[in-house]
Amino acid sequence: MNSVKKRKTGRLFTKDIEQLLYSLGDTPLESTVNALDDCLVDFLSDLSYNTLMYAKSKNRTRVKIDDFPFVLRNDPFKLSRLEYIINQSIKIENAKKMFDDDDKKYADLDKPKKKQKVDEDEDDDDDE
């Protein structure tokens, strides 16, 4: 019996892994890329499954971002990286909100004021 799983779909992350390896100074072999792709897909599948099981244990059908720290609690490196990414995401959202608010303020200032109609009688007075 062959214990190797056969993939039903194509490789999902081949191009990304090749570019990553190349950027790190490696000339990636196809077998290396395929092995890393398999590892990555297995990791993401396990992470997704465990996160879903945790959400179900809390009587929810949807996964929240707050479920991931529980699943990654035994891996301090991945947990700290997740916390860093979440904090950066919050900072970016706050900066976007500030930027949008500033744009709205300045957009209101840039709009030309409505011109008031001048009465025809006043125009006639100027000609005299």
Predicted TM-score (pTM) of the model is 0.65
- Confidence bin at 64 (pLDDT 50/70/90): very high
Rounded to whole angstroms, the maximal C-alpha distance in the chain is 109
Q: What is the CA radius of gyration of the chain?
A: 29
pLDDT bucket at 112, cuts 50 / 70 / 90: low
pLDDT of residue 10: 75
| Structure confidence at residue 1 (pLDDT) | 47
Question: Burial letters for 90-128: b for 16+ Cβ neighbours within 10 Å, e otherwise?
Answer: eeeeeeeeeeeeeeeeeeeeeeeeeeeeeeeeeeeeeee
Higher pLDDT, residue 126 or 66:
66
- The per-residue pLDDT for 119 is 53
Q: What is the pLDDT of residues 32-59, one digit of tens each?
A: 999 999 999 999 999 999 999 999 999 9
